[in-house]
Amino acid sequence: MKEYRNFIDGKWVSSRTGKTFENRNPANWEEVVGIFPASDSRDVDDAVSSAKAAFPSWRLVPPPKRADILLKTRDILIRRKEEISQLMTREMGKVLVETRGDTQEGIDTALYSAGEGRRLFGQTTTSELRDKFAMSIRLSVGVCGLITPWNFPMAIPTWKVFPALICGNTVVIKPASDTPLTATLLVEVLSEAGVPEGVVNIVHGGGGSVGTAIVEHKDVSLISFTGSSDVGRDIGGRCGRSLKKVSLELGGKNGQIVMDDADLYSAVEGALWGAFGTTGQRCTATSRLIVHEKVLKEFTAMFIERTRKLKVGDGLLPDVQVGPLVNKGQRDTVDKYVKIGISEGAKLLTGGKVCEEGDLKKGFFYEPTVFGDVHRKMRIAQEEIFGPVIGIIPAKDFDDAVSILNDSDYGLSSSIYTNDITRAQRAIRDLEAGITYINGPTIGAEVHLPFGGVKATGNGHREASVTVLDIFSEWKSVYIDFSGKLQRAQIDT
């Protein structure tokens, strides 16, 4: 058992509170993975002061030099990939093949963000006046508060930290209390790679004591938050009152459509991965299967057969396909929604119980669960469950399927399985989501494409890709008049 600390101004320091909390393995609650500081607003003040002091010099470091640090970070992540992935499974629970993918996403993001160090393109354009030059450039924002979730404890912090750094900002990170270790390892790697003192800081603790203090701190210029829509609304309101820049990546209630002309074997494989990968704990997880009534019976039988064969257990074991929920509260939430589904009249086709046999009783395991006879207005078809629960909703035809999928407060990811190019093109146009997959599940985003959604899924920003630079930089328009006289735009033209 190891005791970890905050990282402030290039040093590992204890919290001013003197208090700590335990980080335990959700697959075996008897195992303590580490002990972390339970910080408060005083620690946030220290971290923000450090980041503010480091900003003036860091923003003047040429972007290609910042990129060199990210390339070194990538090299270290590659070297430590297996170590980090195994520790991530112990603290978060998802199976090892997935935590390896999580770490790889951080490696890929480092490479992609470093490439932007030699771009960070602005625009040059024409002027409406003679002897006048016009262009736009990107500038740094300042101190960025980064609040990250527990389900992708390496990938999502890198989605925020790396572009923030390449744009010349300094950062204060608050990782989720369920997964503080992975973010700590990321900061260790950044420090080893040569990030200057004060540029990257991490403060551990709860959302109320640390997260709120970061959001409301007067010297924090930008907040980037990934988490629930309810918390996102609160953060958005707080940032609105202080006019901070804010990026919110929130919930999802993602649907996979299966048309009557689909390859059902592929559709089943996609639905299994989309619904039960990461134990359903993804904002992009498939939680609604919208199936054409002509293939409903056949598809359902195939899907149930495969679901029942999924192996639940400790994610470090090689044959396990579904790990635990991240904590007891999340497992209780899943069980609550299963009971809601039954009470609403949905048919429980498989699963629906806490796993308590053998070693599974030491962790927060839940059976992969499938409901049939689900109606689009049921709570289990409308509310985000964030667990291994999926409902099958019949659709009469393509238009009905699109209508069902769009009948949601959320709009993150969507999917359709069809061999009809017309249906595929119409789905791309008509599905109300930030992401659409054709003949693929609702999960599987790549770092060089924009990530985000519409409606209650966020506030319009996109992470990953080049689009993330619009969050972490400020646009400045520049006009150079070399006419030697006063020229008045819109007047002298």
For 52-69, the pLDDT digits (tens) are 999 999 999 999 999 999
* Mean pLDDT along residues 87-94: 98
CA 251 – CA 256 distance, rounded (Å): 16
> Taking the model in full, what pTM does it have?
0.97
pLDDT at 132: 97
Q: What pLDDT is recorded for position 338? A: 98
pLDDT, position 1: 76
Q: Is 350 left (phi over 0), alpha (psi -120 to 50) or beta?
A: beta
196 pLDDT band (50/70/90 cuts)? very high
Q: Average of pLDDT values for 287-294?
A: 98
Mean pLDDT for the chain overall: 97
Q: Residue 330 and residue 320: Cα distance in Å, rounded?
A: 20
How many other CB atoms are there within 10 angstroms of residue 63's CB atom?
18
Closest residue by Cα to residue 161 from 79, 37, 51? 51
- Amino acid, single-letter form, for residue 178: D
Indicate the SS3 state at residue 222: strand
Catalytic pick among 91, 116, 216, 249: 249
User: Looking at residues 463-470, what average pLDDT do you find?
Assistant: 96
Q: What is the pLDDT of residues 229-285, one digit of tens each?
A: 999 999 999 999 999 999 999 999 999 999 999 999 999 999 999 999 999 999 999
Confidence of residue 373 (pLDDT cuts 50, 70, 90): very high
Does the annotation mark 144 as catalytic? no
Residue 134's pLDDT is 98
Query: Sorting pLDDT into bands at 50, 70 and 90, what band is 493?
Result: confident
Among candidate residues 116, 283, 367, 384, the one labeled active-site is: 283
Sign of CA dihedral 260, 266, 270, 272: positive
pLDDT in tens, 389-448: 999 999 999 999 999 999 999 999 999 999 999 999 999 999 999 999 999 999 999 999
Residue 369, both tokens: 């669960």
pLDDT, one tens digit per residue, over 116-167 is: 999 999 999 999 999 999 999 999 999 999 999 999 999 999 999 999 999 9
**Can you list the pairs that 367-371 forms with residues at least 24 positions away whose Cβ atoms lie under 8 Å?**
367/312, 368/275, 368/276, 368/307, 368/310, 368/312, 368/322, 369/334, 369/338, 370/303, 370/304, 370/307, 371/341, 371/346, 371/347
Which residues, at least 6 apart from 358, have a Cβ–Cβ distance to it below 8 Å?
A: none
| CA distances in angstroms from 35 to 2, 4, 75, 102, 326, listed in the order given | 6, 6, 28, 23, 17
Confidence of residue 97 (pLDDT cuts 50, 70, 90): very high
What per-residue confidence (pLDDT) applies to 135? 98
Beta bridge partners of 394: 291
Is 367 considered catalytic here? no
For residue 99, give both structure tokens. Answer: 């935590």
Q: What is the mean pLDDT of residues 70-93?
A: 98
Tens-digit pLDDT profile for residues 322-372: 999 999 999 999 999 999 999 999 999 999 999 999 999 999 999 999 999
